[in-house]
Amino acid sequence: MTETAVEVVIATRDGRVRGRIDDGIAVFLGIPYAAAPFGEHRFAAPAPVTAWTGVRDALAYGPTAPKAPFPPPMDRLLADPSIPGDECLNLNVWAPAGAVDRPVMVWIHGGSLRNGSNSLPAYAGDRFARDGVVLVSINYRLGIEGFGVFPDAPANLGLRDQIAALTWVRDNIAAFGGDPGRVTVFGESAGSISIGALLTSPYAQGLFQRAVLQSGAPSAQTPEAAGRSTKLIAKRLKIPATAGAFAAVDRDRLLAAQVAITRGGPPMGNGNGFTLAVDGDVLPRDPMVALHDGAAADVGLLLGYNAEEYRLWFVPTGLVDRINRITLRLALAKFRVRARTARAYRAARPEATPGELLGVIATDRLLRRPLNMLADARAGDTWLYEFAWPSPVDRLGACHALEIGFVFDTLGTPDGLPLAGPNPPQELADAMHRAWVDFATTGDPGWPRWNDTRPVMRFDTPAPLLTHAPNDPELQSWT
């Protein structure tokens, strides 16, 4: 808080909260939107907050969901602070001071459904508030606590947390100057995958009107497939694969078993990680299938990906250099990539190494192709973008997660420097941030809707450029 900041108190439906106004921006941190998910609420659907009397401080980030740190070498590239405490189902609000009926954006962080939080400096919402948007960032349960699959507990608890947070926004955001009828959800990676599910969940209908999916295509698995990690962790702990048995395990011991089971998965698959489950309740159908069948046709969608997503995993680990022609062929066979598809990518990139070729194919298999197909299937308002600016740091290029600091206009934060370097182009952040603000405010990010010409806004320097049907020969080779 600066010397000129002043405190401000706002009444929510659960009680009054004390925040601060600094340079015209009202900031409230760590507001609980559901009860602490422990004790009687462990492995249960999110429960209402117990209302409080008096004024509750909302001046510091709240506790983060239980999680282990990112493993090396990712820990030096991806910040992931841990804040102790049980009340991890909390959210933050940044709003223009004195605002009324402003558009609202709700950020859902990524992290493979087992890492991440709303407390990173790169996720600060003051630039959105500066530009007239009320920004909300949320925490949700992670890993086995949020996405374990048990016979005696609801599935998709982390997704249910997200719905509870959006319900809080609907019921309370007007007090902070936001319009509950103009809510845009946006998220990256696992946050984007979560939004794909929210678009089709009956419990999330009407809670938002627009959505931005950054580097994550809608997907879910059967309960049996999604529960694989749960069973493996139970086996390692020598306990039954039930919520009751897991609730009796010390949290640190549970996290240690989770780490042992989930790390080291293949680059083109989920390994033993966590996924959403088609549970017949909060997620009745595979979200991608439902969206192709017309679900959420009234919700405006902004979809996109980074040009070299794979480099975040392939380059720091040295995998990009270890892959040779033989391992490339084996990987393509394992993931059923046809020979004609491999030939199309090789023809378009004759100078690419085997590792680079596998990475590009993985990016398109997991992101570019499914998002293009989703855009083709929709009759509603849909826009596509590609983030293509290459980071100068350690051959990372236009890798996964690099775009986040540009979207938030938070370049230069300590957690952004390891990916983007010390001098990323501010003019690109200006353009990308403005597109997100415009989409939330008007429903139009500033370039043509998806149509037969397949327009894609390519965010790069010296200026963003509208392209049409980029990489089409490669994409068509999959059919």
| Residues with active-site annotation | 189, 309, 400
Q: What is the dihedral of CA 429, 430, 435, 440, to 10 degrees?
A: 100
The CA angle 418-190-283, to the nearest 5 degrees, is 175
CA–CA gap between residue 86 and residue 35 (Å, rounded): 9
CA–CA gap between residue 153 and residue 248 (Å, rounded): 14
Helices 354-363, 325-334: inter-axial angle, 10-degree rounding = 20
| Residues whose CB is less than 8 angstroms from the CB of residue 292 and which lie 6 or more positions away in sequence, other chains included | 373, 374, 377
Per DSSP, 275 falls in state -
Residue in 303, 305, 328, 304 with CA at minimum distance from that of residue 399: 305
Tokens of 351: 């100078």
The CA angle 58-62-63, to the nearest 5 degrees, is 160
CA–CA gap between residue 219 and residue 115 (Å, rounded): 18
Other CB atoms within 10 Å distance of the CB of residue 73: 13
Q: Are strands 90-96 and 25-32 parallel, antiparallel or unpaired?
A: antiparallel
CA–CA gap between residue 112 and residue 271 (Å, rounded): 11
To which residue do tokens 């393509």 refer? 332
CA diameter of the chain: 68
Say if CB 344 and CB 479 are below 8 A apart. Answer: no
Tokens of 72: 């090396």
Residue in 370, 389, 395, 385 with CA at minimum distance from that of residue 448: 385
Count how many residues are written for the chain.
479
Tell me: cis bond preceding 121? Omega within 30 of 0 counts: no
Residue in 359, 277, 296, 354 with CA at minimum distance from that of residue 322: 354
Which H or E run contains 363? Answer: helix 354-363
Which H or E run contains 167? Answer: helix 157-172
To which residue do tokens 């048990």 refer? 150
| Residues whose CB is less than 8 angstroms from the CB of residue 250 and which lie 6 or more positions away in sequence, other chains included | none
